[in-house]
Structure 1
Amino acid sequence: MRLIRATAATAAILVAAALPASAINSYNATPAPERTEVGALVATWDDDDDPATPDRVDWVCSGTMADADTFLTAAHCTSDWPANVKFYVSLHQDVQSALDSATGTPAQIAAAVGVPGTAHNHPAYPGTAADTHDISVVEVSAEQMKARWSFTPATLPAANRLGQLGPQGLDDTSWVVAGYGTQEARRGPGGHTHPGGGVRMKAPVTFNALNNAWVRLAMTAPQGNGGACYGDSGGPNFATIDGKRVLAATTITGDSPCYATNVVYRLDTPGARDFLRPFVALP
């Protein structure tokens, strides 16, 4: 299983057997410039045990603007960092190129590509396997976001909407995963690597299974599916429900090589909705 945030510096050397988390595969995937509500989580953090020098900057996860000032992502993307970590939200289509072309200190580079924000994790994270409560928001300035990008926030699902549809209804539903993550595993000297990442992509996926907290989505290429991989954690899984695109779930984990299954966290459950209620207006 995969469940790890990714950085551009490490994505190419991830060994599949060691890891669990997410990215958009190369097969059946296309760029997603129209998904302007989908963004990358950028972080600066200390890398030399000196709190005065936050000397790393990189994109680390994906997410979605749920309203004008709320970026929805995964709690494992905003947890277990050095104390001086700072988060930024970027809606650049190609955040990796934006980072590569920016100059200055890590803080200046992060500010050049994103808007600073404050992370809030679900207080019960990491929970249990049945419900890890792996959900987080990053609150940003609506004014700064509007000044830099034009986007329409995603639509969240009504309470228990996926449960109401049930397996048969969800099997007939169109699903699309989006994010900035790496590609599926490539075999090479020393094991598997995961190339790419840092560009907003999308791919079709199909319904596999539903339980109280999770949806499992198939990423199998022969069925025309794409899928998620490292760096797509926190990113959206859109379902077309009643003719509308709905942010139904967020990418959390899946199989390590990123070929088979995307395991996504439902946003229509009481636990997810109770967490989101202070930050966004719920349907």
Structure 2
Amino acid sequence: MRSTRTTTLVTAAAAAACAAVLATAIPSAAINSYNATPAPERTEVGALIATWDDDDDPGTPDRADWVCSGTMVDADTFLTAAHCTTDWPENVRFYVSLDQDVQADLDRAAAEHPGDPAAMAEAVGVAGVAHSHPAYPGPASDRHDISVIELPAAKIAERWSFTPASLPPAGALDALGARGLNDTPFVVAGYGTQEAQRGPGGQTHPGGGVRMKAPVTFNALNDAWIRLGMTAPQGNGGACYGDSGGPNFATLDGRRTLVATTITGDTPCYATNVVYRLDTPGARDFLKPYVRLP
């Protein structure tokens, strides 16, 4: 779920293709607040930052913020969701940051570059070029909700050290079957907000902008999707707004593997994370030009 937060330079939320929420600017944890922990070691997981405007001066961006999550899958390819990179003003520009606390970085950049969203984004991230699946949005059975940001490898390497995430072999999840998937450890990661909280002004989704992780458990497998349980009594955490495009890892043959990306879920972010499989023919065909597949 794409999310846009307010900063000193951002005055309203952008329209999201899937479901966007204007989150409060409380500097607290991402993912759900329960059963979640910081993930400073997941240096391959990053935040997608956008600069854009929607006024009468398309040559000058007037907004800059983190909007989604994603993962480096090789030295110059950042994997995210297509609903994070489509339905923007024509002058949108995307950046990627692999820092742990991107919101704090943006706050500092706003103070250092007042009134200059482009300089903010350059200070925090590395600019790249988005390639969304050409068939997005597809039918409910397969929305083709997948995108990559191609980045200059040298600039990424200058700023961050990381090991790219491992992608799954073709049909890896089908091969496990329901019993194997029930026994498989899953972890979701991202920069998104917390579950819905009630306040004087109604429901809000606080936090966001900090890389977090949480355990989730298998619920159901479809041709293009996995549904992962994120209910607290089972010891799970889960994803929320701003975690779209972020990774869902599974331990396959003892190896942490990026098997799916967060796409959507229940509105208050308490029950289910609906994630896009990366072991299917459709996902692999899209990824093939950008990354070497197992």
Matches for 1:29-40 after TM superposition, within 5 Å: 29-40=36-47
Is 1:57 the equivalent of 2:64?
Answer: yes
For 2:51 and 2:19, locate their aligned partners in 1 and report how far apart those are by CA, in whole Å.
23
For 2:284 and 2:56, locate their aligned partners in 1 and report how far apart those are by CA, in whole Å.
38
- Normalising by structure 1, what TM-score? 0.94
For 2:123 and 2:201, locate their aligned partners in 1 and report how far apart those are by CA, in whole Å.
36
Residue 145 (structure 2) aligns with: 134
Is 1:258 the equivalent of 2:258?
Answer: no
Q: Check whether the contact 2:263–2:275 (CA below 8 A) recurs between aligned residues.
A: yes
- Normalising by structure 2, what TM-score? 0.91
Q: How many residues align?
A: 275
For 2:177 and 2:155, locate their aligned partners in 1 and report how far apart those are by CA, in whole Å.
40
**Deviations 1:196-246 (CA, angstroms, capped at 9, x unpaired):** 000000000000000100000000000100000000000000000000000
Letter of the 2:78 partner, please give it. F
Structure 1 unmatched ranges of 5 or more = none
Is 1:175 the equivalent of 2:207?
Answer: no
For 1:94 and 1:42, locate their aligned partners in 2 and report how far apart those are by CA, in whole Å.
13
> SS at 1:119's partner residue?
strand
> SS at 2:181's partner residue?
helix
For 1:21 and 1:273, locate their aligned partners in 2 and report how far apart those are by CA, in whole Å.
28
Letter of the 2:172 partner, please give it. R
Structure 2 unmatched ranges of 5 or more = 22-29
Q: Check whether the contact 1:237–1:250 (CA below 8 A) recurs between aligned residues.
A: yes
Which residue, out of 94, 97, 106, partners 2:101? 94
Cα RMSD over matched residues?
1.7
Q: Quote how far apart the aligned CAs of 1:21 are.
A: 6.8
Q: Quote how far apart the aligned CAs of 1:190 are.
A: 3.4
Which residue, out of 45, 52, 64, partners 1:45? 52
For 2:84 and 2:121, locate their aligned partners in 1 and report how far apart those are by CA, in whole Å.
17
For 2:54 and 2:234, locate their aligned partners in 1 and report how far apart those are by CA, in whole Å.
43
For 1:21 and 1:82, locate their aligned partners in 2 and report how far apart those are by CA, in whole Å.
16
Q: Quote how far apart the aligned CAs of 1:179 are.
A: 0.1
Residue 8 (structure 1) aligns with: 5
Q: Check whether the contact 1:75–1:122 (CA below 8 A) recurs between aligned residues.
A: yes
Q: Check whether the contact 1:161–1:268 (CA below 8 A) recurs between aligned residues.
A: yes
Letter of the 1:68 partner, please give it. A
For 2:6 and 2:87, locate their aligned partners in 1 and report how far apart those are by CA, in whole Å.
18
Residue 82 (structure 1) aligns with: 89
Q: Quote how far apart the aligned CAs of 1:53 are.
A: 1.3
**Deviations 1:32-55 (CA, angstroms, capped at 9, x unpaired):** 000000000000001323112101
Residue 259 (structure 2) aligns with: 248
Letter of the 2:216 partner, please give it. V
> SS at 2:175's partner residue?
helix
Letter of the 1:167 partner, please give it. A
For 1:228 and 1:106, locate their aligned partners in 2 and report how far apart those are by CA, in whole Å.
28
Change (3 A) 1:62 1:125: same
Matches for 1:106-121 after TM superposition, within 5 Å: 106-121=117-132
Q: Which has the higher contact order (CA 8 A, sep 6+)?
A: 1
**Deviations 1:16-44 (CA, angstroms, capped at 9, x unpaired):** xxx84796100000000000000000000
Q: Which runs of 4+ in 1 moved over 6 A?
A: none
For 1:197 and 1:20, locate their aligned partners in 2 and report how far apart those are by CA, in whole Å.
16
